Structure 1
């Protein structure tokens, strides 16, 4: 039995199939962790999601910004963007089942036995593991409820840019969602800078890659994340594992075997 964490798939079915073959994935005994953004922008979002749904008993998935975007578009609360590849999903006869499954997924996953935590974008410096799991649960509870619109129609926007325990309602849910699914750069106090998407050395003044901040409460925890293709899989920080290696941009799709931290990859065609 082995556990493999895979970075952003984004609807790139062939590289995913290549990677599963390379690791000799056996759903009867192996486990897959997926770091979010499993769909959108790539050529085969529907077939990719159907494959993952078929393997769902062997999968642990944390939602990314593209996954949440798809759910919001499905509910009519957001328009698809010009670069989205969601139409086959939106027209699929099994779309309701796929949406329901996505809505049941997490924003943060922690496995004490394997000593790994997984999130799509990152965990802000001011939060401990317990804080992160509690805040994730707040969003998950709404998304999984009979009224997910309470989250989906209010989750877009860059403010508030910093967490406060006093936040309530839509603003509270929005900043939590932004930390877990959109963050790249933030300040030592956890203020978000959501405009810059370049490499780690492009940090605006007063900001840094979230994982590089020395005062992070989770600096002694092993964290897997995706989202930041410009890193090219290189966070260069102890206990940090960047798995978005830009498959949808013609890079690679990467898997990390958690038991021994060996990396596997398949090339992707742009």
Structure 2
């Protein structure tokens, strides 16, 4: 059995199909880890969702910001971006089933020495704490207050975590860290508007994974989200967003031996 971690697909079905052929993926034997952002920007989000749903237990997924945006739009709690490509999903006869399947995935998956998350973890969070906080968001998505949660989700504040946060502010910080963060200050204040490469870090910030004494260094973080960073592998980090939807590549890493596979986006 092999486990292949795959970067942001964002509706690029042809690239995903090509990559699965390239790695000779067999759902009866192998597993896929998807870092989130399955949908949007690319042309075939509906086919991506249907393919991954059909894989059943062979696919492990964490939610990205574009996946949550789809859930917010479908619930009527977000204005449509002028350049989104979600119409096929929203108009599909199986839309409700696909959204129900998507919403059951967590923000975080921990297995052995690896953590799968879309964007990153705040430097003051241990892996165990992050996993528990992900569970709080999962409960909100699965519970009776799902629509209220999706209505209150958008926004950049609070910018930092503290254990006393409650309600929607608490959940918003958890979601923003796990699905949107790139840069933060050493004490964990997020700079959520910054999208450039690491060398363009806003004053006083650095890439979240470079914060000294980050408490999640006990594990290797497998993530995506940051196309300006590109495929980036250093001890304790495998960043997989190589910009497939922007004409870059779709990347997979076989976790057992670290072999890298890439196809054009």
CA drift at 1:150: 2.6
What are the Cα deviations for residues 47-104 of structure 1, in whole angstroms up to 9, with x where unaligned? 1111111113211000000000000100111121011000110000000110000110
CA drift at 1:234: 2.2
Aligned to 1:188: 186
Aligned with residue 258 of structure 1, among 245, 255, 258: 255
Aligned to 2:132: 134
Aligned with residue 211 of structure 2, among 196, 210, 213: 213
CA drift at 1:125: 0.3
Measured in 2, the distance between the counterparts of 1:252 and 1:134 equals: 33
What are the Cα deviations for residues 109-159 of structure 1, in whole angstroms up to 9, with x where unaligned? 0002xx211100000100001110011111011111233113211111111
Contact 1:150 / 1:170 at 8 angstroms: preserved in 2? no
Aligned to 2:236: 239
What are the Cα deviations for residues 170-192 of structure 1, in whole angstroms up to 9, with x where unaligned? 10010110000000000111101
How many residues end up aligned between the 2 structures? 265
Measured in 2, the distance between the counterparts of 1:264 and 1:10 equals: 18
TM-score, scaled relative to structure 2: 0.98
Measured in 1, the distance between the counterparts of 2:245 and 2:252 equals: 15
Aligned to 2:117: 119
| RMSD (CA atoms) | 0.9
Aligned to 1:34: 34
Aligned to 2:109: 109
Give 3-state SS (helix, strand or coil) of 1:77's partner: coil
Measured in 2, the distance between the counterparts of 1:60 and 1:126 equals: 26
Q: Does 1:96 align with 2:96?
A: yes
Measured in 2, the distance between the counterparts of 1:148 and 1:225 equals: 25
Aligned to 1:8: 8
Contact 1:188 / 1:215 at 8 angstroms: preserved in 2? no
Aligned to 2:173: 175
Aligned with residue 149 of structure 2, among 146, 151, 157: 151
Moved over 4 A (4+): none
Measured in 2, the distance between the counterparts of 1:146 and 1:16 equals: 34
Give 3-state SS (helix, strand or coil) of 2:131's partner: helix
Aligned to 1:223: 221
What are the Cα deviations for residues 196-231 of structure 1, in whole angstroms up to 9, with x where unaligned? 100011111110000011110112310100000001
